[in-house]
Amino acid sequence: MEIHELQQLLSEMSLQEKIGQMVQLTGVYFDKEAVLTGVVGEQLPPEWIIQYAGSVLGVIGKDKIYDIQSRYMEQHPHHIPLIFMADVIHGCRTIYPIPLGQACSFHPELVSEAASIAASEASSEGLRATFSPMIDVSRDPRWGRMMESFGEDPYVNGIMGKAMVDGYQQKDDAGIAACLKHFAGYGAVNAGREYNDVEISQRTFLEQYVKPFRMALKAKPAMVMTAFNAIDRKPISGNKELLKGLLRDKEGFEGTVISDWGSIGQLEEQGVAADMEEAAIQASEAGVDIDMMSPAYMLCLEKLVESGKIPKAFVDESAFRVLMMKNQLGLFENPFAGLGKSGKLTLHNREKAYQLAGESCVLLKNEKLLPLSRKKKVIWAGPYTASRELLSRWSIFGEHEAVETIEDVLQKKQIEAECITGCNILSDEECKVWQVEQELSDKPRDEQWLETITHEDTV
């Protein structure tokens, strides 16, 4: 669709239709089997929001998305397609090493190729946008999201982030929209505590934490996601100086700014907005185009525009950016583009995963242990020796049935080894969460361990 046609479409849309493009809903409102990645608020969205919502997260599957898209476009006054997004972090069906591991490969071309394969698998199952790459400089090992970034070095984050964007955003039906996150400074949260504030100097912030974004923006990502944290006591999702002044005006970003889950509504919790209306005003003035699952835009934006508290031009600008993103993905020409076109877990895809895993390995010290001798017996201890849960927790669409267990591989290679549970490092409750089965025995743990050791012939 040409730009003037998009502009004409925007002029014909009602205020509710435009606001709908600025709201992202979780897939539970469209499909009960959708993946949840956060807490859903207590208030249900108005019916018109569900009817006009511009994007959906957490739904995957060719037939499922075909059905939802067909029904949605049929009832939409201008037949505007949905865009389906999800957390495709280090692979879709074929899973690659976590981004922190990929950084250890120092091989951006291979990282880009893995992202390209992930995009092909994702688009084949209906997803056209991912919330990746995460390029938060991460230096506190206590922070639970370190595995999702490329580590502590700004330059490595920038190089790998750009490589991933290039891989995701292929110029064909297999391409998906990439999203740089989280802008900015999220990796510097105090004490490594999630959602905490960030207290750093302006120079450190710009030279180290903004630098990866400055580098990766050269790949022209479709989206940038706001961070939960505050910088200089000002939360990012309502920070006009950072989003409009730095990101758009200085760095020249022309794509779509999307909030993280509920972060606009969180402005009230953070004490900078008196209520949801004020949160919506701050985010809109800052230039946040899509509100991901907070009540702010869906419940307040229409009233704020009609009362003149938010200029209608802000809504027009944001809605148009969302339409532009859909147009760049070819969704107006073919809302089902890419569906069913790519195989998953193919031999080629698995070989690339194996290659990247090999190049991501880091040997810190070798005290005459490696390579392992076939003349010695090897013990593998831990609750994961017989588990297929080896894909990490940010591989929500990975298929565990295809994973070979450590025990199975050892037997296949005819390597003499003993696999035991060892000390139960997980509680019973953690085992349920992580779907790991621990061996049960009447004997004390020390006796279970000692029975497997046969003197000096064991490694």
Q: If we measure between CA atoms, which residue out of 436, 439, 443, 447 comes closest to residue 421?
A: 439
> Domain check: are 138 and 200 in the same one?
yes
223 found inside a domain? yes
> Domain check: are 187 and 294 in the same one?
yes
Active site residues: 260
Q: How far is CA 312 from the centre of its chain?
A: 31
> Domain check: are 323 and 370 in the same one?
no
353 found inside a domain? no
Report the domain count for the chain: 2
Query: Helices 108-124 & 347-360, crossing angle to 10 degrees?
Result: 140
Q: How many CA atoms lie within 13 A of 273 on its CB side?
A: 23
> Domain check: are 379 and 272 in the same one?
no
Strand 129-130 and strand 83-86: pairing?
parallel
116 found inside a domain? yes
> Could you say which of 300, 328, 356 is where a domain stops?
328
Contact yes or no for 107/120 (Cβ under 8 A): no
CATH code of the domain covering residue 42: 3.20.20.300
Q: What angle do CA 320, 324, 327 make, to 5 degrees?
A: 135
Beta-bridge partner residues of 234: 231
- Amino acid in the structure at residue 317: E
Contact yes or no for 150/100 (Cβ under 8 A): yes
- pLDDT computed for residue 456 by the predictor: 43
Answer positive or negative: Cα dihedral of 16, 22, 28, 33: positive
Instruction: Let me know if 91 is exposed, middle or buried by CB neighbors in 10 A (0-12, 13-18, 19+).
Output: buried
> Domain check: are 271 and 383 in the same one?
no
Segments forming the whole domain that contains residue 212: 3-328
> Domain check: are 323 and 395 in the same one?
no
Distance, in Å, from the CA atom of 21 to the CA atom of 199, rounded to the nearest integer, reads 34
Q: If we measure between CA atoms, which residue out of 223, 238, 227 comes closest to residue 168?
A: 223
352 found inside a domain? no
279 found inside a domain? yes
Distance, in Å, from the CA atom of 306 to the CA atom of 329, rounded to the nearest integer, reads 32
> Domain check: are 306 and 422 in the same one?
no
> Domain check: are 402 and 285 in the same one?
no
What is the 8-class DSSP label of residue 374? Answer: T
Q: If we measure between CA atoms, which residue out of 79, 88, 80, 81 comes closest to residue 59?
A: 88
Strand order in the sheet with 83-86: 129-130, 83-86, 55-57, 23-26, 291-292
Q: How far is CA 247 from the centre of its chain?
A: 20
Distance, in Å, from the CA atom of 187 to the CA atom of 195, rounded to the nearest integer, reads 10
> Domain check: are 374 and 314 in the same one?
no
> Could you say which of 305, 328, 351 is where a domain stops?
328
> Domain check: are 299 and 378 in the same one?
no
Q: What is the residue-level pLDDT of the chain in tens, covering all 459 positions?
A: 999 999 999 999 999 999 999 999 999 998 867 666 665 556 789 999 999 999 999 999 999 999 999 999 999 999 999 999 999 999 999 999 999 999 999 999 999 999 999 999 999 999 999 999 999 999 999 998 999 999 999 999 999 999 999 999 988 889 999 999 999 999 999 999 988 889 999 999 999 999 999 999 999 999 999 999 999 999 999 999 999 999 999 999 999 999 999 999 999 999 999 999 999 999 999 999 999 999 999 999 999 999 999 999 999 999 999 999 999 999 999 999 999 999 889 999 999 999 999 999 999 999 888 887 878 888 888 878 888 888 987 899 998 888 999 999 999 988 888 998 776 677 888 777 766 665 544 444 444 444 444 444 445
Which residues, including other chains, have CB under 8 Å from residue 14's CB and lie 6 or more apart? 77
Q: How far is CA 205 from the centre of its chain?
A: 23
Distance, in Å, from the CA atom of 415 to the CA atom of 219, rounded to the nearest integer, reads 46
349 found inside a domain? no
> Domain check: are 172 and 286 in the same one?
yes
338 found inside a domain? no
Where residue 138 falls (left for φ over 0; alpha for ψ -120 to 50; beta otherwise) is: beta
What CA dihedral angle connects 194, 197, 202 and 208, to 10 degrees?
Answer: -10
What is the 8-class DSSP label of residue 345? Answer: S
> Could you say which of 307, 328, 349 is where a domain stops?
328
* CB neighbours of residue 286 within 10 Å: 26
Q: How far is CA 15 from the centre of its chain?
A: 30
Residues of 440-455 as b/e, b for ≥16 C-beta within 10 angstroms? eeeeeeeebbeeeeee
- Written as six digits, the tokens of 368 are 């005459």
- Written as six digits, the tokens of 405 are 């267990």
Q: Is the peptide bond before 353 cis (omega within 30 degrees of 0)?
A: no
> Domain check: are 143 and 266 in the same one?
yes
- pLDDT computed for residue 431 by the predictor: 74
- pLDDT computed for residue 453 by the predictor: 45
- Written as six digits, the tokens of 287 are 């230039």
Residues of 14-38 as b/e, b for ≥16 C-beta within 10 angstroms? eeebbbbbbbbbbbebbbeebbebe
92 found inside a domain? yes
**3-class secondary structure, 265:** coil
Distance, in Å, from the CA atom of 154 to the CA atom of 184, rounded to the nearest integer, reads 12
Strand 234-235 and strand 230-231: pairing?
antiparallel
